[in-house]
Amino acid sequence: MAKDMHLIISLYEEAEALYQQGKSEEAAEVLRFQYRFYMEEAELYGDIHGLSENYVQKGERLLAKIEGREYINYRLEERDVGNRSIGFTILVWSVFGVVVLSILAVLYGLYQWLFS
């Protein structure tokens, strides 16, 4: 799969060179089809990390610039959402535990008071 990483990097560099030469459509075609194909294949085999992750963002950012839209790093947002949901889950269960223990303490106090 390292061969594919070199191919991805060379495809990005080709697209960037085309863009610099004013050939935006050709650069967009390279990024949309060839680049994304190899990126998806690399992601499928779990080979995206480090330098290649940087090229994922670079390629998507360049394509967004060519298409005139804003680039959004969905991978980062997915991680953030995942981390927020875990923190929220811990918070909810903590509050639930405190409420249940408080109710049990009150019931135990009533039991002691009534039956002593």
The predicted model scores a pTM of 0.48
Q: Report the distance separating Cα 50 and Cα 109, nearest Å.
A: 58
Out of 22-26, 36-40, 44-48, 95-99, give the one with best mean pLDDT: 95-99
What is the mean predicted confidence (pLDDT) over 33-56?
65
Give the pLDDT of residue 19: 86
Contact 30, 14 (CB under 8 A): yes
Choose among 48, 44, 43, 14: nearest CA to 30: 14
Q: What is the pLDDT of residue 21?
A: 92
pLDDT at 49 over 70: no
pLDDT at 1: 47
Other Cβ atoms less than 10 A from the Cβ of 9: the count is 16
Q: Is the pLDDT of residue 61 over 70?
A: yes
State the average pLDDT over residues 34-62.
68
pLDDT in tens, 87-104: 778 889 999 999 999 999
Report the pLDDT value the prediction gives residue 12, as an integer from 0 to 100: 80
